[in-house]
DNA sequence: TTAAAAATTGACAGCGCTGTCAATTGTTAT
DNA sequence: ATAACAATTGACAGCGCTGTCAATTTTTAA
């Protein structure tokens, strides 16, 4: 039923080793032979047995996606991007959810890698931003690719796919400025996350480039949560507070923005008439809030596919891809922002 | 470094075959021997090599989770539930996203199963509710477990884990009735989904048991989407329409409910004062709407783990578990419902 | 034209495990 | 105590593939 390498060899009239060479894209096979084999492969609809390859060879054809779960939408998008790259390249994907706050996480993952014969790992924030964790993994016999926030890799522990949150945040803030806002609040996400830091930098840069004075009181420390958005917005908009009341709020992600929206509703502040709010991430629910959120979108699927391909080419020891891809999230204007 | 079965055999002073017997939980091993082996396994922290097991034996230690993507939260929860069951049982999980609307889906999945040497499949709605698709899979040499909406399995194609949406919907509707509502609108999800049908049945049953006349005009056909909630609620609440204006709306899921909330906002109807709205699913964002949604929660993680364990025991040919587990989603009262 | 070097191909062992079947040990009934 | 049986154990082949290395063919150089 299912064709083996033997069947292909017979059909092509060569040895199984030659078939093996062809399917592994090795160089020393004559063009003619290669074609014969490829024809046989097609005819028999042959697909190499992953278990056997993994068992026999020194190489492994499995990579793993290790994630902590900040956001189901993000994970699913990433996962599907990685999955389709894997399928295309004949790799197998192991999914490994874990908890970044767990003290033993390094041990846990190191163990998994050792036991599962894994060739490479893909890490997303917050795991990709834990230097000690990453170091421990790089020290093992696996390749690592990280998806991170920033414009350039912070170190050379591993190749990275960078998401330029800074530029995107600047664009968003500029959008607010273009609408006439000058008092723009900022509700931060978890301070430990690079994305928060980067978005903050972009916000600051936009203000600076437009010569708007920076007011520290307009910056609220928070975390990536709805509740943080609620309390942040309350704090910013409270009439008792002695700071300037902002006319716009930059929320570090959509969840915070949704919280801010919620708070505004509580305080009878109408959006966007009295207050503009922007989010970040373009989560599905950002289209389902009232009003719909202006936000920034990043092609997670594609980013993940990129990372997976980068990783696989590392594993294959093909040219040591030094090119680091960078993505800049794109502004999406919806209904939560308006002229001042 | 990594211990093999050979190391264990030496350490325990038995043959590798005996070790194999112990790790596979076969019967004919003397208790004393079994203990010796188990001790060695522990000492060496031995974990069997999955690739080798899959290659050597007739059995396979891989199962697959096939899903169409209705909802990232749902998928992630399910996936993690399955994953942890797999880890516990020493199985490997293949993830296979696909598109239920794709004509070739059966061929695609059948192909995957054939090529990947998979022992079993877990199916969630809508895939689990496509009889022809399921039949094609059952016809292959794999076990199948479905997660479905209903109280009993609709057929005996495969064991099922049932989610009793009907009873849950009745409870939710009853909650509305208890609050004094009698004109209760219903915005349906995709009519093809069993969950829609079941929730509708529960709604009808609650009305009937409280002797409330059923008004067909209060039922809006829709789909599981935000937009459907918007238009459904508009239709129900429009003053021009010649039907009774409901004082409460049962939305078939949270997304629809969010849409209904949105529409109410558009129409200046205050929730829950002028209109109560309930959702279903307890999506994370149901806590982040204004006001927070009353909804129904189901333990997806646990349901998935159940399904995975059921599948694995099928695969292992352990007692042909005829017990079908049933879960009833639980009412969660929040702020979108109030007295009439 | 022929020897030497290079390119191409294949034979064979073995990855870590399980299935088969035969050898050994223990148990029961006589 | 011993034959007859059952329970337990192990030897060995082989799953489908890759690594090693040697055999063969082709190319190059003299």
The tens digit of pLDDT for each residue in A58-108 reads: 888 899 999 998 789 999 999 999 999 999 888 999 999 999 999 999 999
| A314 pLDDT higher than 90 | no
Annotate A253-267 with b (16+ C-beta within 10 A) or e (fewer).
Answer: bbbbbbbbbbbbbee
Give the pairing of strands A184-187 and B295-297: unpaired
Query: Would you call A294 helix, strand, or coil by DSSP?
Result: strand
Regions in chain B scoring below 70 on pLDDT:
1, 241-243, 318-323
Residues 145-204 of B with CB under 8 A from A: none
| A21 pLDDT higher than 80 | yes
CATH number of A5-48: 1.10.260.40
- B69 contact residues in A (CB cutoff 8 A): 76
Mutate to test the interface with A, among B44, B53, B72, B268 (most CBs of A within 10 A): B72
Mutate to test the interface with A, among B95, B98, B267, B279 (most CBs of A within 10 A): B95
Residue B270: burial class (beta carbons within 10 Å; 0-12, 13-18, 19+):
exposed
Higher pLDDT, A34 or A69: A34
Of B73, B92, B95, the CB nearest to A72: B73
How many CA within 13 A on the CB side of residue A198? Answer: 24
Q: Tell me the backbone φ, ψ of residue B42, rounded to 5 degrees.
A: -65, -50
Annotate B103-121 with b (16+ C-beta within 10 A) or e (fewer).
Answer: eebbeebbebbbbbbbbbb
Q: Rounded distance, CA A272 to CA A276, Å?
A: 5
**Nucleotide with C1' nearest the B15 CA:** D10
Do B296 and B282 contact (CB within 8 A), yes or no? Answer: yes
Nearest residue of A to residue B48, measured between CA atoms: A115
Give the residue extent of every domain in chain A.
5-48, 62-164+300-328, 165-297
Where does residue A13 fall: left (phi above 0), alpha (psi -120 to 50 degrees), or beta otherwise? left
Query: Would you call B79 helix, strand, or coil by DSSP?
Result: helix
Give the pairing of strands B160-163 and B143-149: parallel
Which residues is A332 bridged to in the sheet?
A295
CB contact under 8 A, A55 and B50: no
Do A173 and A206 contact (CB within 8 A), yes or no? Answer: yes
Residues 31-60 of B with CB under 8 A from A: 47, 49-52, 54-55
CA angle A299, B104, B192 (to 5 degrees): 85
Q: Which nucleotides of C are covered by protein (CB under 7 A)?
A: 7-12, 14-20
Q: Rounded distance, CA A125 to CA B63, Å?
A: 28
Same fold, A5-48 and A62-164+300-328: no
Whether the ω angle into residue A70 lies within 30 degrees of 0, i.e. cis, is: no
For chain A, what is the mean pLDDT? 92
Hey, CA dihedral for B180, B184, B187, B193, is it positive or negative?
Answer: positive
Q: Rounded distance, CA A333 to CA A330, Å?
A: 10
Helix (H) or strand (E) holding B284: none
The architecture CATH gives domain B62-164+300-328: 3-Layer(aba) Sandwich (3.40)
Do A170 and A137 contact (CB within 8 A), yes or no? Answer: no
| A318 pLDDT higher than 80 | no
Q: Rounded distance, CA B110 to CA A72, Å?
A: 28
A153-193 tens-digit pLDDT: 889 899 999 999 999 999 999 999 999 999 999 999 999 99
Distances (CA, A) of A73 to A254, B60, B287: 12, 31, 17
Please tell me the predicted confidence (pLDDT) of residue A322: 58
Q: Rounded distance, CA B189 to CA B223, Å?
A: 4
Q: Rounded distance, CA B55 to CA A51, Å?
A: 6
- A95 contact residues in B (CB cutoff 8 A): 79, 83, 93, 95
Please tell me the predicted confidence (pLDDT) of residue A315: 86
CB contact under 8 A, A114 and B2: yes
CATH number of A165-297: 3.40.50.2300
Q: Rounded distance, CA B78 to CA A151, Å?
A: 35
Cβ count within 10 A of residue A179: 17
What are the structure tokens assigned to A174, written together?
Answer: 């500029």
Q: Does A102 touch chain B (CB under 8 A)?
A: no
A117-154 tens-digit pLDDT: 888 999 999 999 999 999 999 998 889 999 999 999 88
Q: Rounded distance, CA B280 to CA B19, Å?
A: 50
Query: Would you call A301 helix, strand, or coil by DSSP?
Result: helix
The architecture CATH gives domain B165-298: 3-Layer(aba) Sandwich (3.40)
| A227 pLDDT higher than 70 | yes
Q: Rounded distance, CA A317 to CA A237, Å?
A: 55
CB of residue B58 closer than 7 A to nucleic acid strand D? Answer: no
**Closest approach of B212 to chain A, Cα-based (Å):** 33
- Best CA proximity match to B169, nearest among B33, B309, B331, B35: B331
Give the pairing of strands B62-67 and A219-220: unpaired
- B77 contact residues in A (CB cutoff 8 A): 72
What is the share, in percent, of chain A residues with pLDDT greater than 70? 97
CB of residue B32 closer than 7 A to nucleic acid strand D? Answer: yes
């Amino acid at each position: 039923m299912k064709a083996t390498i033997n069947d292909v060899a017979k059909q092509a009239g060569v040895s199984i080793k030659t078939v093996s060479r062809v399917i592994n894209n090795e160089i020393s096979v004559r063009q003619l032979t290669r074609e014969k084999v490829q024809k046989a492969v097609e005819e028999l609809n042959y697909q190499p047995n992953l278990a056997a390859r993994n068992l026999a060879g020194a190489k492994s054809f499995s990579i793993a996606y290790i994630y902590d779960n900040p956001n189901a939408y993000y994970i699913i998008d990433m996962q599907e991007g990685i999955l389709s790259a894997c399928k295309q390249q004949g790799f197998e994907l192991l999914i490994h959810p874990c908890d970044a706050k767990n003290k033993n996480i390094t041990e846990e993952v190191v163990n998994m890698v050792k036991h599962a014969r894994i060739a490479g790992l893909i890490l997303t924030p917050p795991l990709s931003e834990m230097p000690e964790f990453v170091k421990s993994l790089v020290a093992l016999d696996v390749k690592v690719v990280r998806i991170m926030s920033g414009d350039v890799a912070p170190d050379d522990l591993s190749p990275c796919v960078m998401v330029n949150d800074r530029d995107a945040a600047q664009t968003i803030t500029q959008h607010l400025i273009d609408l006439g806002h000058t008092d723009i609040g900022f509700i931060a996400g978890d301070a430990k996350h690079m994305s928060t830091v980067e978005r903050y930098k972009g916000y600051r840069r936009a203000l600076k480039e437009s010569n708007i004075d920076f007011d520290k009181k307009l910056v609220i420390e928070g975390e990536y949560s709805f509740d943080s958005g609620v309390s942040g917005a309350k704090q910013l908009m409270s009439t008792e507070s002695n700071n300037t009341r902002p006319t716009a709020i930059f929320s570090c992600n959509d969840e915070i923005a949704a919280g801010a929206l919620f708070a505004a509703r509580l305080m009878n502040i109408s959006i966007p008439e009295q207050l503009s709010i922007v989010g970040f991430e373009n989560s599905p629910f950002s289209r389902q809030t009232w009003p719909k959120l202006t936000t920034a979108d990043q092609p997670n699927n594609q980013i993940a596919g990129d990372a997976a391909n980068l990783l696989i080419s590392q594993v294959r020891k093909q040219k040591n891809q030094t090119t680091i891809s960078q993505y800049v999230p794109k502004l999406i204007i919806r209904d939560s922002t308006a002229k001042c």
